[in-house]
Amino acid sequence: MALYKLTLRELQERFTKGEVTACEIVQAYTLRLNQLEPKVRAYITPTKEAALVQAEALDEKLKGWRRTMPLMGMPVAVKDNICTQGVLTTCASRMLGNFVPPYDASVIARLRGQSYLLLGKTNLDEFAMGSSTENSAFGPSRNPWNLSRVPGGSSGGSAAAVAADLCAAALGSDTGGSIRQPAACCGVVGLKPTYGRVSRFGLVAFASSLDQIGPITKDVADAAMLLGVIAGHDPLDSTSANLPVPDYAKALKKKDFKKLKVGVPREYFAEGLDPEVEQAVQAAIEEIKQLGAEVKEIALPRTDAAIATYYLIATAEASSNLARYDGVKYGLRSKETGNLLDMYMKTRQEGFGPEVKRRIMLGTYALSAGYCDAFYGKAQAVRTLIRQDFEAAFREVDLIVTPVMPTPAFKLGEKSEDPLQMYLSDIYTISVNLAGNPAIAMPCGFSKAGLPIGLQLIGRPFEEETLLRGAHAYEQVTNWRAKRPNIR
Amino acid sequence: MQITKQDVEHVAKLARLEITETETDAFSRQLSAILTYVEQLKTLDTAGVEPTATVLEQTNVFREDKARPSLSVEKALANAPESESGHFRVPRILE
């Protein structure tokens, strides 16, 4: 089998046994990239040449040594809002079009510590704001299952790269569904860890109380492996949890749902859910029952309020975080400068795209004098109610099962004129970020048009093991991964 | 909820964002629609509910006040649009 088709673990096994060299891995992916990347456009900055140089050095160094680290020699793609020292990190924005970070994000430092191979930086919606990658200043990525469809977003490039076998695994970031939604659109696995499970140091901030880095992979066991490498406390991120990291691979040993209670929130199966998606998710729930779960209906009564709450909190935090782009320290500076204030205003006008501007405007409004209590303050209080919904549900069940998005991947351009419609497609993923819980998206079927449909499992905070165990058990009996996109 | 062009211009100034006439129109329309949608939160009773700023339990995280290696001046300035003698250079502030 071609090397690019292998999962991270299969590839790692061959590499560890010495059956394949790092150079051969990079060469296999280079051929694949040359063939398909012009169609999929998953990457903003491909780094396959640099990866080959690193691979040569690694092969040279490894002569006669045992290869033990999980990510050693593994070709990984990284969302372009995660800082990579010496490698362009643009956030898909004109604002950072020339930004070369002088340091690595902590997740990258960990991967580098294992001698991983960076295949490139992947496309996203500008500053991770969007659900389709259409908001990228460098043009949209395409869905490998159907090139006229979006790959989802904002980590659309990472999900498309994994689905099209243009990398062995990828990193994304998830603020309101930005790992899970593109994973569902592209038929791959995407894991949003618990808030605080993975360090955010070096992740370009969008909404700091919601952002979390996580793996996008070909299967659940790969997600477990990659999470094990990037999870854990980091003194450089005071919001990273000082808790031990379990051996996630161990969690995969029980291949069933025995003694697990699984909740189905009735609010997630209401109006607006595409019948094909509902059918696939219901069939998955049936499988989960067969695997020994006790399935029961639960309530998450504030689901309807989640989108409004999210778009106030996320934009308020974004308006504050993006104040740093002032044309002084890094990034773009407008050529048309008058005094300092003119320079700020013109730089930000030229550097930001429409969606980023819209969110800065909304967030600034929500925080402005006279409106802060009515909008931002209210949203923070409703966020508490949403958390309480999840806390109450998780007193009754161990996992919650839902769709990832209301429809399969939509067409390019279909929603880009109506921001509110675009926001509404995040309904099933957004609450999880507000509550801080971990959640995983994985394929659970295909629409008649041949587009992947995603299943979401949500777990208790810091119980990624239960999440991975359930997802893995379901994957074992279904094997949707056997079907691969025919890219043309 | 109606966001007027004047509102948009005021907020754009607060956000240090120069916007065109077309953008002012579009933002007035789009922000009105979005804010009308989020106004549904008003129907939820949040009397006595503590706001959530972060889902973490922790409050302050302290570390020892010890010098650590950091970026060199050269590296810190490497991405600056303009720099001079080890400083960021900005346009004139006072006329």
Mean pLDDT (chain A, rounded): 96
Kindly indicate the confidence band of residue A338, based on its pLDDT and cuts at 50, 70 and 90.
confident
Largest CA distance in chain A: 69
Residues 6+ positions from A170 with CB-CB distance below 8 Å? A76, A77, A78, A79, A122, A155, A158, A159, A161, A162, A215, A216, A217
The pLDDT value recorded for residue A160 is 98
Residues A189-213 have a mean pLDDT of 98
Catalytic residue among A132, A136, A141, A154: A154
Catalytic residue among A132, A173, A178, A199: A178
CATH architecture of A3-263+396-482: Alpha-Beta Complex (3.90)
Query: Which of A199, A336, A365 would you mutate first to test chain B, the one with the most B CBs within 10 A?
Result: A365
Residue of A nearest to B68 (CA): A236
| Closest C-alpha to A313, from B31, B55, B53, B30 | B53
| C-beta separation of A364 from B15 below 8 A | yes
**Chain A (313-342) residues lying within 8 Å, Cβ to Cβ, of chain B:** 319, 323, 326-333, 337-342
For residue B94, pLDDT beyond 90: no
Spatial separation of the C-alpha atoms in residues A90 and B1, rounded to whole Å: 36
| Closest C-alpha to A205, from A361, A373, A44, A323 | A323
A178 counts as catalytic: yes
| CA distances to A125, A223, A288, B14 from A198, in Å | 22, 13, 28, 34
| CA distances to A108, A117, A230 from A113, in Å | 8, 11, 11
pTM of the predicted model as reported, rounded to 2 decimal places: 0.97
Phi, psi of A190 (to 5 degrees): -135, 130
Q: Is A383 on the interface with B (CB under 8 A)?
A: yes
DSSP for residue A352 = S
The per-residue pLDDT for range B33-77, each reduced to its tens digit, is 999 999 999 999 999 999 999 999 877 888 899 999 999 999 999
Spatial separation of the C-alpha atoms in residues A233 and B56, rounded to whole Å: 14
Kindly indicate the confidence band of residue A84, based on its pLDDT and cuts at 50, 70 and 90.
very high
Chain B hits for A344, Cβ within 8 Å: 16
Spatial separation of the C-alpha atoms in residues A422 and A419, rounded to whole Å: 5
Largest CA distance in chain B: 57
Residues A183-207 have a mean pLDDT of 98
Query: Nearest Cβ partner of B34 from A311, A342, A385?
Result: A311
Of A58-67, A76-85, A339-348, least confident by mean pLDDT is A58-67
The pLDDT value recorded for residue A418 is 80
What b/e string do you get for B52-86 counting C-beta neighbours within 10 Å, with b at 16 or more?
beebbeeeeeeeeeeeeeeeeeeebbebbbebeee
A378 and B71: CB-CB below 8 Å?
A: no
Query: Nearest Cβ partner of B17 from A348, A377, A385?
Result: A348
A305 and B41: CB-CB below 8 Å?
A: yes
Residues A111-136 have a mean pLDDT of 97
Spatial separation of the C-alpha atoms in residues A264 and A291, rounded to whole Å: 16
Spatial separation of the C-alpha atoms in residues A152 and A142, rounded to whole Å: 9
The domains of chain B are located at 5-43
The domains of chain A are located at 3-263+396-482
Spatial separation of the C-alpha atoms in residues A146 and A301, rounded to whole Å: 36
SS3 call for B94: coil
Catalytic residue among A48, A79, A121, A192: A79
Spatial separation of the C-alpha atoms in residues A91 and B49, rounded to whole Å: 36
The pLDDT value recorded for residue A473 is 98
The per-residue pLDDT for range A17-73, each reduced to its tens digit, is 999 999 999 999 999 999 999 999 999 999 999 999 999 999 999 986 777 799 999
Spatial separation of the C-alpha atoms in residues A487 and A5, rounded to whole Å: 14
The pLDDT value recorded for residue A286 is 98
Spatial separation of the C-alpha atoms in residues A65 and A162, rounded to whole Å: 30
The per-residue pLDDT for range A364-411, each reduced to its tens digit, is 999 998 989 999 999 999 999 999 999 999 999 999 999 999 999 999
Query: Nearest Cβ partner of A364 from B15, B33, B46?
Result: B15
Q: Is A461 on the interface with B (CB under 8 A)?
A: yes
The pLDDT value recorded for residue A302 is 96
Spatial separation of the C-alpha atoms in residues A158 and A9, rounded to whole Å: 18
For residue A197, pLDDT beyond 90: yes
A333 and B51: CB-CB below 8 Å?
A: no
| Closest C-alpha to A341, from A353, A326, A331, A329 | A326
Question: Between β-strands A439-446 and A75-79, what pairing exists: parallel, antiparallel or unpaired?
Answer: unpaired
| Closest C-alpha to A278, from A435, A187, A403 | A403
Chain B hits for A319, Cβ within 8 Å: 15
Chain B hits for A354, Cβ within 8 Å: 23
For residue A153, pLDDT beyond 90: yes
Geometric angle at alpha carbon A76, from A241 and A165, rounded to 5°: 130
The pLDDT value recorded for residue A210 is 98
- For the four alpha carbons of A107, A35, A124 and A93, in that order, the dihedral sign comes to positive
Q: Is A413 on the interface with B (CB under 8 A)?
A: no
> Right CATH number for B5-43 from 1.10.20.60, 3.40.630.30, 1.20.140.10, 1.10.150.20?
1.10.20.60
B90 and A379: CB-CB below 8 Å?
A: no
Q: Which two tokens stand for residue A474?
A: 């379901």
The per-residue pLDDT for range A441-456, each reduced to its tens digit, is 999 999 999 999 999 9
Chain A hits for B14, Cβ within 8 Å: 364, 368
The pLDDT value recorded for residue A112 is 97
Q: Which amino acid, residue A456?
A: Q
Spatial separation of the C-alpha atoms in residues A320 and A188, rounded to whole Å: 33
Q: Which helix (H) or strand (E) holds A340?
A: helix A340-351
Kindly indicate the confidence band of residue A283, based on its pLDDT and cuts at 50, 70 and 90.
very high
**Chain B (35-94) residues lying within 8 Å, Cβ to Cβ, of chain A:** 35, 37-42, 44, 46, 49-56, 61, 63, 71, 75-76, 78-82, 88, 90-93
Query: Nearest Cβ partner of A349 from B19, B82, B93?
Result: B19
Kindly indicate the confidence band of residue A259, based on its pLDDT and cuts at 50, 70 and 90.
very high
Question: Between β-strands A169-173 and A399-403, what pairing exists: parallel, antiparallel or unpaired?
Answer: unpaired
The pLDDT value recorded for residue A417 is 76
The pLDDT value recorded for residue B72 is 96
Kindly indicate the confidence band of residue A89, based on its pLDDT and cuts at 50, 70 and 90.
very high
Cis-peptide into A154, omega within 30 deg: yes
The pLDDT value recorded for residue A68 is 79
Q: To the nearest whole angstrom, how far is the Cα of A347 from the nearest Cα of chain B?
A: 8
The pLDDT value recorded for residue A393 is 98
